[in-house]
Amino acid sequence: MFRFQNPQYLWLMLIIAALAVIFAVTEIIRRRRLKKIGDDNLVGLLIPEASLGRKIAKLIMVCLAIACIIIGLARPQFGSKLSEVTLKGVEIVTALDVSNSMLAEDVKPNRLGNAKMFIERILGKLNGNRLGMVIFAGDAFVQMPITTDVRSARLYLSSTSTNDISVQGTDIAKAMTLAARSFSSSDDASKVIILMTDGENHEEDAIEVAKSLKEQGIIVMTVGFGSPSGVPIPNKNGSGYMKDRDGNTVMTKLDEQTLVEIAKITGGIYVRATNSSSSSDAILSELNNLQQSETTKQIYSEYDERFQYFVFAALILLVLEVFLLERKNPILSKIKLFKKEENENKSQI
């Protein structure tokens, strides 16, 4: 494969066209002035060393040198190398609640937005950890398979919303079960689920699932979003708050008890999210203390640079241009390599 890293510099090629136009105009003006002196043959006798061909050759060399310099500035790159990098880390699957209650604004900008910022802070400090994403509400869905690709994780995260799952509710048990299935079969690395929700579990088997994960050696770290006092849920259209069938405003509050118990059972920790980085730092600190395994990742390294060849060619051309004179060398022009042969031919005639 081939590409220019800085293709904007290629516009400088217009300089070459400008030089060619300037040279042509200058030469036309010079010839008109010489015609005023006398006949072309007579002028040629007066300045026998003048050589238009040499001027053109020098111009071509300069233009080629400039072209090589411009190409060098554009940084031509050829191909790419596939290399292997060994990374150390743990396997992490985030289980993010995308139910309507996550639209509550008791943390800024809202619970879901705060959770996405929380994950973003973790992504910035992965350092070799492998990450997968599960989203859930009344159902659960794998948003991203486990990977080390931080760019993909950020892309998936940015597009996550409460519209991703149509079945409303908060089924924590289903989310943890699906997250557990997302891990690799490797037994070397610690496996961690980071459960992020307001904790309003609408099913009763979350504790049983936590006990099962404990037996599998999976740690669940829980992060609570919101206020225990309860707040209304804004409508998605931005006007008013959600109401139940009886016309009462729906209130949502953080259920810390369930989240604390899940973390305790599986050997994890519980933190309440805030707008600061302290809660994510606590999670990262725990992750760094876990057993890490080595994983081999194939990556494409940067393209091979080739600008140096064009810079070297430009240098050679400029040196040659300096040594190429515009006028014929009077000494060299007197050397007749075939003079003896011509005299012999005349004598034979």
Q: What is the DSSP annotation of 30-82? A: HHHHHHHHS-HHHHHHHSTTB-HHHHHHHHHHHHHHHHHHHHHHT-EEE---E
Q: Are residues 337 and 280 in the same domain?
A: no
Cα distances (angstroms) measured from residue 201 to each of 32, 52, 91, 140, 332: 94, 90, 25, 13, 98
Q: Are residues 229 and 131 in the same domain?
A: yes
**Mean pLDDT computed over 71-87:** 73
Provide the token pair at 95.
């289980």
Q: Is 22 exposed, middle or buried (0-12, 13-18, 19+ CB in 10 A)?
A: exposed
Domain residue limits at 326: 2-79+304-348
Q: How many CB atoms lie within 10 A of CB 30?
A: 13
For residue 134, what pLDDT is reported? 97
For residue 297, what pLDDT is reported? 55
Out of 282, 299, 316, a domain closes at 299
For residue 53, what pLDDT is reported? 76
Q: What is the pTM of this model?
A: 0.61
For residue 231, the domain's CATH number is 3.40.50.410
Q: Are residues 157 and 253 in the same domain?
A: yes
- Mapped onto helix, strand or coil, the DSSP state of residue 339 is helix
**Mean pLDDT computed over 337-347:** 50
Mean pLDDT, all residues of the chain: 83
Q: Are residues 315 and 256 in the same domain?
A: no
Number of folded domains in the chain?
2
H or E stretch at 344: helix 339-348
Q: Are residues 172 and 228 in the same domain?
A: yes
Task: Give the Cα separation of 211 and 261 in Å (integer).
Answer: 10
Q: Are residues 203 and 335 in the same domain?
A: no
- How many C-alpha atoms does 212 have within 13 Å on its Cβ side? 13
**Mean pLDDT computed over 95-112:** 93
Q: Are residues 69 and 99 in the same domain?
A: no
Q: Are residues 238 and 199 in the same domain?
A: yes
Out of 299, 317, 339, a domain closes at 299
Tens digit of each residue's pLDDT (9 = 90 or more) over 265-321: 999 999 998 777 788 889 988 888 886 655 555 555 556 788 889 999 999 999 988
pLDDT for 337 beyond 50: no
pLDDT-derived band at 332 (thresholds 50, 70, 90) equals very low
Q: Are residues 192 and 91 in the same domain?
A: yes
Q: Are residues 291 and 170 in the same domain?
A: yes
pLDDT-derived band at 39 (thresholds 50, 70, 90) equals low
Q: Are residues 115 and 258 in the same domain?
A: yes
Q: Do the Cβ atoms of 229 and 253 come closer than 8 Å? A: yes
Q: Are residues 60 and 115 in the same domain?
A: no
Tens digit of each residue's pLDDT (9 = 90 or more) over 157-206: 999 999 999 898 889 999 999 999 999 877 777 899 999 999 877 666 89
Task: Give the Cα separation of 323 and 45 in Å (integer).
Answer: 25
DSSP string covering 224-237: E-S-TT-EE-B-TT
Task: Give the Cα separation of 255 and 196 in Å (integer).
Answer: 12
Q: Nearest to residue 203, comparing CAs of 181, 243, 178, 175?
A: 175
